[in-house]
Structure 1
Amino acid sequence: MFRPRVALASLSGEADADWALAARAYAGAAFLGGIAIDEASREAAREMVADRDRTEFLPADPFVFVDDQLAALDGEPIRAGINVRSATVDPVRDAARICADHGAVLEVNAHCRQAELCAAGCGQTLLRDTERLCEYVRAAAGTGAPVSVKVRTEVPGVDLPATARRVAEAGADAVHVDAMDSEAVVADVVDRADAFVIANNGVRGRESVAEYFEYGADAVSVGRPSDDPDVLARVRRAVDELAVDAHA
């Protein structure tokens, strides 16, 4: 799906095209966003900004924003993706069409755990509603865009490997796993899902990269330190050395 096997994970209100371009020497992919694309998710984002002083992407037209951001990465040596939040399926399809035009990945956000987003019916609530999540995946995949699903471990009542298998069967090309404190679940996802598995959480250098590759991950992603060149350089060196053996 991308090489080198290092991705930049979306950071709310921070992960834009400039952020991706600053790290293009280290990463093979960058997931911009997350961005709220329907009215319910946008209202939830506005509440988070007002109540908790969070940084969010809230452009007047989220689809124009997505198109402009992806256009800024056209022809660059880093694969673009856009992480989207939505409580309804049609906006996901619309965003995926834009991704397809740019050869970018549409990433369905089934990951965010903020109360406002969950109340709106998006983020990790999708992990508890597998059929709706699969509907999103099918809608996005039907546009011809590659599809990733961002998920997290440790959601009560969710069998994540089984969910990963379902979304892969629905057409997801990648499953992007925030391992939280359950890194070994990555191995279970690899075993169950016929998809490219990206492991996220605590990726800082050789030790973490080696652990995730030992669990069978196809790639790793860097979250909070994605604007730190020292961390990115360590991760890139580790991937270059270890991916040869793990994914020759």
Structure 2
Amino acid sequence: MFEPRVALASLSGEADAAWARAGSGYAGMAFLGGIALDEASREAARELVARDRNEFLPADPLAFVDAQLSALTDVDIRAGFNVRSATVEPVGDVARVCAAHDAVVEVNAHCRQEELCAVGCGESLLRDTDRLADYVATAAGTDATVSVKLRAEVDGVDLVETARRVEAAGADVLHVDAMDAEEMVAAVVDATDCFVVANNGVRDRETVREYLAYGADAVSVGRPSDDPRVLERVREATVEWFASPA
């Protein structure tokens, strides 16, 4: 899927092509975004900006995704784009753009901001597995490589069953924010054949080895993804693990 097996996790309003380029010496994958695709999700993003959160709000989201991926053609890193939508059709549209760049489209079933959940984006998709599976199937139908960003410890959600359902719908990658339930990574690994990227608190050799010991295929770095000191530690630990797993 990518080498080294370190990913840069999307940071809304910050994770753009320049960010991916800066981290390319340490990571094999960069999930840009997230990006709101339809009017309902864009209105939710505007509400987030109004309370001082960073969001990408270009006039044309698809053109923005295309331009950002084009800006990475000379960079040795695989790109992906984390996307949000209250409706399914734009997910297929953006997946076709990603497929044209051999990039991964990542369906966001992760964000928990009230504004996004209220319109059916982010974590609300975890509570509606049929709808999430429809998003994944729509993206997979374009021949794009499909990732799903998931969150553990959501009340009423069986993450293992959700992982099985989205795999059956066509997901290739499961990007799991373990929260404080790191053992859920092992449960997802055991339940599916997807490429599993473990996320949350990845900072150093200890945290890398914990997730990889649970069977994760890769780890991702979130908030400190712009800190070369953290990225260097994570890269070294990941390369060491796969050279001689213990």
Please indicate, yes or no, whether the TM-score normalized by the shorter chain is above 0.5: yes
Structural RMSD (CA): 0.9
Residue aligning to 2:43: 43
SS of equivalent residue, structure 1 residue 118:
helix
1:106 equivalent to 2:138? Answer: no
| Structure 2 Cα separation of the partners of residues 133 and 246 of structure 1 | 34
1:29 equivalent to 2:22? Answer: no
- Within 5 Å, which residues of 2 pair with 1:6-17? 6-17=6-17
- For 1:240, the aligned partner's letter is V
| Structure 1 Cα separation of the partners of residues 29 and 147 of structure 2 | 12
Q: Which consecutive residues of structure 2, in runs of 5 or more, have no partner in the other structure?
A: none
SS of equivalent residue, structure 1 residue 116:
helix
1:63 equivalent to 2:62? Answer: yes
SS of equivalent residue, structure 1 residue 210:
helix
Residue aligning to 1:211: 210
- Deviations along 1:16-52, whole A, 9 cap, x unmatched? 00000001000000000001001110000001111x1
1:18 equivalent to 2:39? Answer: no
* Aligned sequence identity (%): 72
* TM-score, normalised by the number of residues in structure 1: 0.98
- Within 5 Å, which residues of 2 pair with 1:73-84? 73-84=72-83
Q: Which consecutive residues of structure 1, in runs of 5 or more, have no partner in the other structure?
A: none
Contact persistence 1:165–1:194 (CA under 8 A): no
1:155 equivalent to 2:154? Answer: yes
Residue aligning to 1:201: 200
- Within 5 Å, which residues of 2 pair with 1:80-159? 80-159=79-158
- Deviations along 1:190-241, whole A, 9 cap, x unmatched? 0112200000000001000000011000000000000000000000000010
Number of equivalenced pairs: 246
Contact persistence 1:149–1:174 (CA under 8 A): yes
- Deviations along 1:138-176, whole A, 9 cap, x unmatched? 110111110000000010000001101110111100000
| Structure 1 Cα separation of the partners of residues 12 and 87 of structure 2 | 20
- For 2:7, the aligned partner's letter is A
